[in-house]
């Protein structure tokens, strides 16, 4: 561990400073960051100058499995970045005068400890009183009329630019996503997503990656497990809607000051489902992990067993009410002008964890479902349809999505079922 400055016992000084930091208001509420700080300091004390690997930190600090791949899971980088910011915040506030400074330089997991030099005390010297010297007041020229006119023009220009910028921000409203950090989301959105802020482990966004066979040059098609070889499966493709959906979720969680892990469905583990809150992006036809765990009960993705749309994916309404259909299909042929999507909030495999399913019968419906739960007005509409709604209320909802030129432009809430 690089150490600068003087200290009689650098090791004890560093460990004492660590405990001071983790007990401070800046870090006290974040168990995972406290654990990471203690680990990094301890390792660099025990093995000075030896670089730590992401895999080592992921498995020993965050409980990841041996199959952890830092290319697919950014947990260590994200958490270390958060810790680096928290340390800077600590030393800008209550740690401003601490003798010991702990830092994590960018691009490294090695901790550095700096010991401030304390100023030497010197004997006070008698103050020498110098005779006062009064300087003559210089003669200041009176500004000319042209000078005042130029100043006035300048002030008017600055004022115009300021008012123009203010008007732009006001007129823009919610069309631009705020990126200034926690606190920028309004109350309805913060309340809706608050269950995902309860635990120290970061939520996981699981996006679909369907099993295909073939090649992009000659044509891809869905895997037929009864006739196709599993050795020829291509499982690294996802839809446009899923990509934009993950971006939208990242925007919301950035403003909640909460990092997200992002995983494709094929890499999700049972431990992830037990230990983390999860957001599924994509239907069970492509997000295949949803076929292996308990899913929705009111609005269920099924392929039509008979009729003119036999074999096509639909959302089945298992308990239709007056005026509701039993099945909802996207158009059989392109272009897609309408789609249907499900939003389902439920308990996870571990009852203390949460699962949110955001899925359409096409990739555009999936995108629309995510957009619905990331905007204030639609969240208010949804909550108004759920009796006695409060954060953590379980529900399933069905959306009708209108599409124009491959872009979802509006979503209507068709039906809601409250409860598990």
pLDDT tens per residue across span 231-263: 777 777 888 899 999 999 999 999 888 899 999
In a domain, 31, yes or no: yes
CA pair distance 11, 102, nearest whole angstrom: 12
Q: What is the pLDDT of residues 268-319, one digit of tens each?
A: 888 888 899 999 999 888 877 888 788 899 999 999 998 899 989 999 999 9
Residue 117 phi, psi dihedral angles, 5° rounding? -75, 125
SS3 37: helix
Q: What CATH number is given to the structural domain containing 61?
A: 1.10.10
User: What percent of the chain has pLDDT above 90?
Assistant: 35
Q: Find tokens 């204030």 and name the residue.
A: 376
206 contacts 268 by C-beta, under 8 angstroms: yes
The pLDDT of residue 29 is 73
Q: Same domain for 58 and 201?
A: no
Q: Same domain for 111 and 195?
A: no
Instruction: Write the DSSP assignment of 255-295 as a string of letters.
Output: HTT---EEEEGGG--HHHHHHS-EEEES-TTTSGGGGSS--
Select the highest-mean-pLDDT range: 137-141, 223-227, 380-384.
Answer: 380-384
Q: What is the pLDDT of residues 63-102, one digit of tens each?
A: 888 888 887 778 888 888 888 888 888 888 888 888 889 9
Q: Same domain for 223 and 101?
A: no
The pLDDT of residue 342 is 97
Q: Same domain for 209 and 87?
A: no
The pLDDT of residue 171 is 40
Which of residues 115, 132, 156 is at a domain's end? 115
- Please, is 129 exposed, middle or buried when counting C-beta atoms within 10 Å of its C-beta (0-12, 13-18, 19+)? exposed
Which of residues 91, 115, 139 is at a domain's end? 115
The pLDDT of residue 401 is 96
Residue 359 phi, psi dihedral angles, 5° rounding? -150, 140
267's tokens: 């890499």
In a domain, 244, yes or no: yes
- Which structural domain range is residue 34 located in? 3-115
The alpha-carbon radius of gyration of the chain (Å, integer) is 29
Q: Which residue has the higher pLDDT, 220 or 402?
A: 402
Q: What is the pLDDT of residues 350-375, one digit of tens each?
A: 888 999 999 999 999 999 999 999 99
181: left (phi over 0), alpha (psi -120 to 50) or beta: left
Q: pLDDT confidence of 161, banded at 50, 70, 90?
A: very low
285: left (phi over 0), alpha (psi -120 to 50) or beta: alpha
The pLDDT of residue 149 is 52
305's tokens: 């067993």
CA distances 351 to 71, 98, 277, 347, Å, are 30, 44, 10, 5
- Please, is 159 exposed, middle or buried when counting C-beta atoms within 10 Å of its C-beta (0-12, 13-18, 19+)? exposed
In a domain, 147, yes or no: no
Q: What is the pLDDT of residues 15-56, one digit of tens each?
A: 899 999 988 888 877 888 889 999 998 888 888 878 888 899
Q: Same domain for 215 and 96?
A: no
In a domain, 140, yes or no: no
In a domain, 177, yes or no: no
249 contacts 369 by C-beta, under 8 angstroms: no
The pLDDT of residue 355 is 95
Q: Same domain for 90 and 229?
A: no
The answer, yes or no, to whether residue 6 has pLDDT greater than 50, is no
Q: Same domain for 192 and 109?
A: no
C-alpha closest to that of 213 among 223, 205, 200, 201: 223
- Inter-axis angle of helices 31-46 and 10-22, nearest 10: 170
The answer, yes or no, to whether residue 339 has pLDDT greater than 90, is yes
Angle, CA 291 vertex, CA 285 and CA 297 arms, to 5°: 95
Q: What's the mean pLDDT when you consider all of the chain?
A: 80
CA pair distance 412, 328, nearest whole angstrom: 14
Give the pLDDT mean for 329-351: 92
Q: Same domain for 81 and 228?
A: no
Select the highest-mean-pLDDT range: 117-126, 174-183, 321-330.
Answer: 321-330
In a domain, 346, yes or no: yes
The answer to which of 126-135, 219-228, 273-282 has the lowest mean pLDDT is 126-135
In a domain, 148, yes or no: no
The pLDDT of residue 136 is 39
In a domain, 129, yes or no: no
Which of residues 80, 115, 150 is at a domain's end? 115
Q: Same domain for 196 and 317?
A: yes
Angle, CA 47 vertex, CA 43 and CA 48 arms, to 5°: 105
Q: Same domain for 102 and 209?
A: no
The answer, yes or no, to whether residue 408 has pLDDT greater than 60, is yes
The answer, yes or no, to whether residue 117 has pLDDT greater than 70, is no
Q: Same domain for 103 and 218?
A: no
How many domains, in total, are found in the chain? 2
Q: Same domain for 229 and 330?
A: yes
């Amino acid at each position: 561990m690089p150490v600068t400055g003087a200290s009689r016992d650098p090791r004890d000084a560093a460990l004492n400073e660590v405990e001071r930091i983790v007990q401070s208001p800046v870090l006290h509420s974040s168990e995972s960051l406290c654990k990471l700080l203690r680990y990094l300091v301890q390792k660099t004390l025990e093995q000075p100058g030896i670089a730590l690997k992401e895999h080592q930190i992921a498995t020993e600090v965050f409980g990841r499995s041996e199959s952890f791949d830092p290319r697919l899971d950014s947990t260590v980088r994200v958490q270390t970045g958060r810790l680096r910011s928290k340390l800077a915040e600590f030393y800008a506030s209550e740690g401003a005068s601490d003798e010991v400074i702990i830092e994590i330089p960018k691009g490294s997991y090695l901790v550095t400890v700096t010991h401030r030099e304390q100023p030497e005390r010197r004997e006070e010297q008698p103050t020498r009183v110098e005779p006062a010297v009064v300087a003559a007041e210089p003669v200041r020229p009176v500004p000319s009329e042209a000078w005042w006119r130029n100043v006035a023009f300048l002030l008017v220009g600055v004022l115009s630019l300021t008012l123009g910028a203010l008007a732009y921000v006001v007129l823009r409203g919610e069309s631009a996503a705020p990126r200034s950090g926690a606190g920028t989301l309004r109350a309805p959105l913060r309340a809706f997503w608050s269950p995902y802020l309860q635990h120290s482990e970061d939520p996981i966004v699981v996006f679909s990656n369907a099993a295909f066979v073939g090649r992009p040059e000659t044509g891809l098609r869905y895997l037929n497990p009864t006739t196709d070889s599993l050795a020829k499966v291509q499982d690294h493709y996802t839809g446009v809607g899923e990509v934009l959906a993950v971006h939208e979720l990242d925007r919301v969680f950035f403003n909640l000051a909460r990092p997200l892990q992002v995983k494709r469905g094929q890499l999700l583990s049972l431990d992830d489902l037990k230990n983390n809150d999860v957001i599924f992006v994509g239907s069970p036809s492509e997000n295949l992990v949803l076929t292996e765990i308990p899913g929705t009960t009111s609005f269920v993705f099924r392929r039509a067993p008979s009729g003119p749309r036999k074999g096509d994916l639909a959302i089945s309404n298992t308990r239709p009410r007056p005026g509701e259909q039993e099945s909802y299909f996207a158009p059989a042929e392109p272009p897609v002008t309408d789609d249907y999507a499900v939003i389902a909030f439920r308990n996870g495999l571990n009852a203390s964890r949460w699962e949110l399913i955001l899925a359409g019968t096409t990739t555009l419906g999936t995108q629309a479902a995510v957009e619905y739960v990331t905007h204030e007005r639609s969240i208010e509409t949804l909550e108004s349809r759920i009796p006695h709604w409060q954060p953590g209320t379980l529900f399933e909802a069905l959306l009708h999505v209108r599409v124009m030129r491959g872009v979802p432009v509006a979503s209507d809430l068709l039906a809601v079922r409250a409860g598990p």
